[in-house]
Amino acid sequence: MASGDYGKAETELLSLLEREPMNADAYFNLALIKGLKGEPEAEVEMLDKAIAVDDAHSPALSVRGVIYLSESKIKKASEMFKRSLDSDADNIIALTGYGSALIREDKYEEAEGYLDRAVELDPANPFTYLDRSGVRAANGDMEGAESDMSAAIELEPDYFWHYLDRGRLRIRDLGDRKGALEDFNRAIELDPAIFYPYVFRAGIYDDMDEYELAAADYKLVIEAKPDYYFAYSSLGIMQFMISDWEGCRSSFEKAFKLEPEEYAYLAMAAVAVTKMGDKLAARKYYSEIMDKIPTASIYYHILRSYLERGYDAYALRKIQDEENEGLQKRLLFYIAELYHQNGMETAAYSYFTLVKDAENLGYFESRIAEHELESHYE
């Protein structure tokens, strides 16, 4: 079987079983062959026969547990792993498998003990460290999790996912921008076709106010995965920050195509067109996009206020009638932009401030309002 001649090995094992029908090892080896050949049902059948012949066959029990775990049958998987460990306390597959099962049950402290033992027994296996890093992170030991991820990288320095995982931990849990950037850059070197590290790197650049670099990364995300809707609005925000109004308009229009119920994207596109300074072209644009918004939507009334002088008073009453205070503040951003463009700076400043102060609610308009305050009122 080591030579890859599965057919010959399978024939020899079947012949052995004719002579020794109670040979659990033969059934187990047949199961391994079936797994390698991509015959999962036959693999399970052979494992079950091995266990039926020898209910303490640690290798068969551990592999059966792995299969149950892959099927999200956690209780059955745990039973197999425990029986395997009862027979052989140092079975690496059972140790890591039972640790994973315990993680699924949120029993992180107990899981760490089994994974500690797995690392002790197999210190050259990067994935034992990775498994334990997840448990350590769940237990709040972020430095320990990072240490395990670093150990995995030392053992397997060209594995893309190690760097992505450590980069995410560093930026999310340790606040280490520099280290995270190094990891995402290395991941991109290893496989530039996968879009995930660009997303995380763009977020770091955004946090560093490196908006052009962030915009460049979001463009790469879109190139790699055009249906990743989050990237379009994120790109639009970055383009707003660097005053790329045509790019901003285009990005929010594309975001709307992917999320046609999110009328805020059309309102943002309208703001970008307003910023371009061509009033006739802007009025034509407002008319065109208003046809895409139901008249019952507050966004319809907001955009109508861009088109019709004096209509803002009615739009404001509609906004004030909104029961969701957070959404109410979000909507005020577009009135603030209208007033800013029309030179009504006192009112614009007041509304931008209200929107900015709602930043804890997670609306992207809050961060743009903050940018507008810093750009025009300080």
The fold of 123-191 is 1.25.40
Percent of the chain with pLDDT over 90: 95
Mean pLDDT within 344-372: 95
Strand spans (E) along the chain: none
Q: Say if residue 66's pLDDT is above 70.
A: yes
Query: Which of the four pLDDT bands, split at 50, 70 and 90, describes residue 360?
Result: confident
Q: Can you give the pLDDT at residue 4?
A: 57
> Scanning the structure block, which residue is given the tokens 């609610």?
361
How high does pLDDT run on average in the chain? Answer: 95
10 Å CB burial of residue 257 (0-12, 13-18, 19+) is exposed
For 83-98, write each residue's pLDDT tens digit. Answer: 999 999 999 999 999 9
Q: Can you give the pLDDT at residue 320?
A: 93
| Integer Cα distance of 237 and 244 in angstroms | 10
Tell me which long-range contacts 241-246 makes (C-beta under 8 A, separation of at least 24): 241/211, 241/368, 241/371, 242/211, 242/212, 242/215, 243/275, 244/215, 245/272, 245/273, 245/275, 245/276, 246/272, 246/276
Of the candidates 272, 311, 275, the residue with the CA atom closest to the CA atom of residue 289: 272
| Integer Cα distance of 157 and 191 in angstroms | 13
Percent of the chain with pLDDT over 70: 99
> For the whole model, what pTM was predicted?
0.85
For 4-54, write each residue's pLDDT tens digit. Answer: 577 888 999 999 999 999 999 999 999 999 999 999 999 999 999 999 999
Q: Can you give the pLDDT at residue 7?
A: 83
Least confident of 11-15, 221-225, 338-342: 11-15
- Give the domain ranges of the chain: 123-191, 308-377
Cα angle 119-123-128, degrees, rounded to a multiple of 5: 45
Cα angle 168-170-171, degrees, rounded to a multiple of 5: 70
Q: Can you give the pLDDT at residue 9?
A: 87
Mean pLDDT within 205-228: 97
Q: Give the 3-state secondary structure of residue 38.
A: coil
For 277-308, write each residue's pLDDT tens digit. Answer: 999 999 999 999 999 999 999 999 999 999 99
Q: Can you give the pLDDT at residue 368?
A: 97
Query: Which of the four pLDDT bands, split at 50, 70 and 90, describes residue 177?
Result: very high
